[in-house]
Amino acid sequence: MSTDSQVRLQELIGEDYALQRVIGHGGMSTVWLATDTRTNEEVAVKVLRPEFADNAEFLSRFRNEAQASEGIDSPNVVRTFDYRELPDPSGNTFCFIAMEYVRGETLAERLLQETSINESETLDILEQAANGLAIIHSMGMVHRDMKPGNLLIAEDGTVKIADFGIAKAAEAVPLTRTGMVVGTAQYVSPEQAQGKQVTAATDVYSLGVVGYEMLAGRRPFAGDSSVSVAIAHINQQPRPLPERISQPTRDLIGVSLRKDPERRYQDGKALAEAIAAVRKGNRPLLPEPRTNNANIKTQIQRPPTGMQGTAVMSQRPIQGPQVPPQHPTNMQQRQLPQRHMPPGGSDQNGQRMPVGAGPNAPRRAGQRPAYDQSSNSNNSIYALLAVLVLAIGAVGIWLLLSLMNGGSNPTTTPSSTQTSRSSSSSSEDVSEEVPTQQLPNTQPDQSTPIVPQQSQQPIQTQPQITPTNANTFPFPTAIPFLPTQTPTTVEVPPTSVAPSPPSTGEPEESEQ
């Protein structure tokens, strides 16, 4: 900027801030390093460009940035000191924001130099950013534009969230038209990309993308245009992280990048707690699955006293099968038992995060990480039905074979052959012969050798049943010969049986 322009700008700003030099440019503003003449401290003065001053939407965004960041007191959020709107000689509105000056660099500049950042430092940056989001969310605000360019890293390593240009109250009317996508495509959440309602979990997703980029040295989704990248955020799963990344950190990023905002960490506070657990070598805490049961009331955690904002959903760690807590008002985080996983599914600490079939069940070896896991309940039902069908079929086949082979039981009387031959001799229907249940001839004809009942061996072979006419089918005659009829024949004493009638002249069957 020329000296004349700086002089004119200085005249508009006034004597409270002495401009020094330009330190940055944004999409709709220019940032100056200045000195607060009242405190003699360095500040950053963000000035809305004149070409946007007469645009109501850009002016509203700029004003919103100042109002949204005003009153936020956190070491991880850039402080706002002053905001002014002044008329300029041309009749347009001149406005600027005086904010905290952070001597250091943005995370975007850091990634241009190093491509990727080691896991330990990545977790440190993420935890500080999550702590900043926790304060923002506790005041009912959503940042909506978490990206490396809006994360400032001070010389002492402190991370600060900046640029509240499109931040908004969680329940406020959007600054843009209904359905319009707001945010940076590479870091936009699925609900943002679809123009849906944003929540604190939206910022969690975007920060998860930042964490992924720091660990992998690339963004989780790539495309030829912003539209294709936004669509990938909606429909695709991120590419796997490098194998050098530990499993707890993989799971932490995986939960943050879930498509369904209700299955992510619900706000910055819950995310910060999960990151702290991973940094201590533990498994990350998981967001508690929500229920659709209208009769169950959701626990609400109100913002700190003195702060206004919407309530934030509370989080609890998943700890295996649920047991009613002895002290529900003082819930403690419990570390899940560690398990050594086989190669390809283990981390440096041999830990895995509990994710799985039940809402609180530990994840077993070989299961996918914490990225979106579609419910397998339908597959389980289909598998169970298939097993039941096979079991019923097996039982049916067994019964059918038992019925068809019923005549091979030597203790079942009368035999099917005798029934058939008697039917042929008397010219009576088979169905009339079956109910008579004649007992074996215990006093046979003199020409028939006597075989003691107790020494009789099972007959190994039986003559094939030959129907006497075309309408006779032997299958029904096997029904009386089920094993349930056997005791009736075997246990009748020989003395109680009347002499058998004279031989009909047809040779009686004997053992072969």
Q: Confirm whether 90 is domain-assigned.
A: yes
Strand partners, 31: 24, 46
Which of the listed residues 280, 307, 333 is the one where a domain comes to its end?
280
Is 168 labeled as ligand-binding? no
263 and 136 within one domain: yes
Residues 144 and 179 in one domain: yes
pLDDT tier at 57 (50, 70, 90 boundaries)?
Answer: confident
What is the average per-residue pLDDT within 376-391?
68
Residue 186 forms part of a structural domain? yes
Tell me, yes or no, whether 81 and 62 share the same domain. Answer: yes
Closest to 334 in 3D by CA, of 249, 268, 277, 287 = 277
- Domain boundaries, position 97: 3-101
At 463, which amino acid appears? P
Task: State whether 188 and 215 are in the same domain.
Answer: yes
Which of 79, 101, 123 terminates a domain? The answer is 101
Residues 171-216 pLDDT 10s: 443 434 334 445 688 999 999 999 999 999 999 999 999 999 999 9
Q: Is 251 a residue whose pLDDT tops 70?
A: yes
Based on the fold, state whether residues 185 and 254 are members of the same structural domain: yes
Indicate which CATH number applies to the domain containing 93.
3.30.200.20
pLDDT computed for residue 296 by the predictor = 30
pLDDT of residue 439: 44
Q: How many domains does the chain have?
A: 2
Q: Which residues neighbour 146 within 8 Å (Cβ) at sequence distance 6 or greater?
A: 129, 133, 161, 187, 203, 206, 207, 210
Residues 58 and 187 in one domain: no
Catalytic site positions: 145
**pLDDT, position 186:** 92
140 and 11 in a single domain? The answer is no
Would the pTM count as exceeding 0.75?
no
Total count of residues recorded for the chain: 512
pLDDT at 37: 95
Question: Are 79 and 168 members of one domain?
Answer: no
Domain termination residue (choose one: 230, 246, 280): 280
Find where tokens 């900043």 sit: 132
> Beta-carbon neighbour count of residue 371 at 10 Å?
18
Asked whether residue 81 falls in the same domain as residue 183, the answer is: no
147 lies in the same domain as 79? no
- Domain assignment present for 482: no
More confidently predicted of 9 and 278: 278
pLDDT (average), residues 220-234 = 93
Minimal CA–CA distance to 47: which of 60, 28, 64, 61?
A: 28
Residue 300 phi, psi (nearest 5): -115, 135
**Three-state secondary structure string covering 317-363:** CCCCCCCCCCCHHHCCCCCCCCCCCCCCCCCCCCCCCCCCCCCCCCC
Question: How far are the Cα atoms of 259, 329, 406, 463 from residue 512, in angstroms, in the given order?
Answer: 78, 86, 20, 11
What is the spatial order of strands in the sheet that 104-106 belongs to? Answer: 104-106, 151-154, 159-161
Q: Which pLDDT does position 289 carry in this prediction?
A: 62
Amino acid in position 25: H
